[in-house]
Amino acid sequence: MQLKNDILLRVIRGEKVERTPVWLMRQAGRILPEYRAVRNSVSGFVELAKTPELAAEVTIQPVDLLGVDAAIIFSDILVVPEAMGLPYQMVEKRGPWFPETIKDAAGIKKLRVADPKSELHYVLEAIKITKKGLNGRVPLIGFAGAPWTIFAYMVEGAGSKTFSRARAMLYQNPELAHRLLDMIAKTTIKYLKAQVEAGANVIQVFDSWAGILPPHHYSEFSLGYIRKICEAVTEVPVTVFAKGAYFAMDEILALPCDTIGLDWNMSPGEVCKQTAGKKALQGNLDPAVLYASDEVLVSETHQMLSAFNGCRHIANLGHGVYPDTDPDKVRLFIETVKAYR
Ligand code: 1CP
């Protein structure tokens, strides 16, 4: 189907655009009272994500209520470990928790490379329903975690400031770590290809915990697997968002992907020069700017937009929108981007 608003895709393809496209990481859910209402009608996040009609409804909400230029499918990166045989729970106000974690070869032996058409059918169904509901209004972004970030949760068992157990395995048993990373990467490739087949127009790979690795480990245990994903998913453009990985920017820019996501510690001007127009850049406003006065919010947004001047830019935050952000501040951010020339 022909998209009515394809400005995001045009920037990615390197075509001329009349303004900067804009969407927000973690825009589906979190901040909208309309999301809360749907979320409260079920037992929790997992039931919501596994009910395709409802997942589609909350995916479309920010398009109607905020005016963003793309939708992102409502799901989580942790559906992948579950599909491989390691289930998670979402603990209210605490985040994800895995009753079992991967400690040794015996743990890996119990896992499988998942078949997304059966184990992740609910996400694919949600994508199909979302596409119908969007009716071509904006593109739909599919996503997955980068293998390193998924590995970190599977070994650690929950969110962590240090992910010290996950990082310990890289020193104690690198061969085992590679075996697990390889299984995650294989599952992720099948899963992303299935998302594209179901209707995703763009794919984003979230390496949320890139920044906790030393550079040599980041090259060895993360980038190689992201590269495999980029090489395999050729049907639609791929965005790589590696939070905190400014130390690896040269290698990230050399990936066969279309767009690079920047967090707010990264310098748009420098990366812009380095890309030399070969890739689109996405980001990178500090999400805390959305707590500022309207005046400061507008001026910070203008500053961010001008820092990307001269390169192909998709406006976004440098990480997910914080849950206690006022939706009116989000609207002001979006309006400011759309009005900027
Ligand atoms: O954009 C959207 O809101 C769509 C849905 C979405 C996405 C893209 C959710 C729903 N999660 C994600 C990605 C995700 N999940 C990432 C990558 C992006 C990022 O870095 O923010 C990560 C690291 C997770 C893992 C996760 N899931 C966390 C973080 C835990 C930690 O280590 O600190 C948490 C708190 C969740 C729960 C979750 N995921 C999504 C929602 C709506 C929620 C809240 C659960 C609830 O409503 O009870």
What pLDDT digit, counting tens, does each position of 233-281 carry? 999 999 999 999 999 999 999 999 999 999 999 999 999 999 989 999 9
ipTM of the complex: 0.91
Q: What is the pLDDT of residues 114-151, one digit of tens each?
A: 999 999 999 999 999 999 999 999 999 999 999 999 99
Q: What is the pLDDT of residue 76?
A: 97
**Does the Cβ of 130 fall within 6 Å of ligand 1?**
no
What the block records as the tokens of 314 is: 């998709």
Whether 30 is catalytic: yes
**Does the Cβ of 90 fall within 6 Å of ligand 1?**
yes
Mean pLDDT of 84-90: 96
Known binder of ligand: residue 27? yes
76 CA to middle of ligand 1, Å?
Answer: 6
81 CA to middle of ligand 1, Å?
Answer: 14
pLDDT beyond 80 at 106: yes
Phi, psi of 234 (to 5 degrees): -110, -5
**Does the Cβ of 72 fall within 6 Å of ligand 1?**
yes
332 CA to middle of ligand 1, Å?
Answer: 24
Distance from C-alpha of 316 to C-alpha of 266, rounded to nearest angstrom: 13
Tell me which DSSP letter residue 243 carries.
T
Pairing type for strands 89-91 and 95-97 reads antiparallel
Q: What is the pLDDT of residue 29?
A: 82
Whether 167 is catalytic: no
Q: What is the pLDDT of residue 8?
A: 98
**Which residues, including other chains, have CB under 8 Å from residue 253's CB and lie 6 or more apart?**
260, 271, 274, 275, 278, 279
Among the options 6, 35, 39, 191, which is catalytic?
Answer: 39
Whether 291 is catalytic: no
Known binder of ligand: residue 30? yes
42 CA to middle of ligand 1, Å?
Answer: 18
Mean pLDDT over each residue of the chain, to the nearest integer: 97
**Does the Cβ of 316 fall within 6 Å of ligand 1?**
no
pTM (2 decimals)? 0.97
Distance from C-alpha of 312 to C-alpha of 52, rounded to nearest angstrom: 34
**Which residues, including other chains, have CB under 8 Å from residue 310's CB and lie 6 or more apart?**
272
**By C-alpha distance, which of 81, 59, 69 is closest to 9?**
69
Phi, psi of 191 (to 5 degrees): -65, -45
Q: Name the residue ranges covered by the structural domains of the chain.
A: 7-339
Q: Which residue type, as a one-letter code, is found at position 225?
A: Y
**Which residues, including other chains, have CB under 8 Å from residue 263's CB and lie 6 or more apart?**
241, 243, 244, 283, 284, 318, 319
287 CA to middle of ligand 1, Å?
Answer: 15
Q: Which residue type, as a one-letter code, is found at position 309?
A: N
Distance from C-alpha of 142 to C-alpha of 202, rounded to nearest angstrom: 6
Q: What is the pLDDT of residue 30?
A: 85
Cα distances (Å, whole numbers) of residue 309 to 16, 91, 289, 305: 14, 42, 20, 7
**Between the CA atoms of 337, 195, 229 and 100, what dihedral angle is there, to the nearest 10 degrees?**
100
Distance from C-alpha of 226 to C-alpha of 230, rounded to nearest angstrom: 6
**Does the Cβ of 26 fall within 6 Å of ligand 1?**
yes
Length of the chain: 341
CATH number at 7-339: 3.20.20.210
pLDDT beyond 80 at 113: yes
Whether 76 is catalytic: yes
Known binder of ligand: residue 208? yes
Cα distances (Å, whole numbers) of residue 142 to 10, 120, 129, 216, 312: 17, 13, 13, 29, 21
Distance from C-alpha of 229 to C-alpha of 256, rounded to nearest angstrom: 9
Q: What is the pLDDT of residues 321-334, one digit of tens each?
A: 999 999 999 999 99
**Does the Cβ of 81 fall within 6 Å of ligand 1?**
no
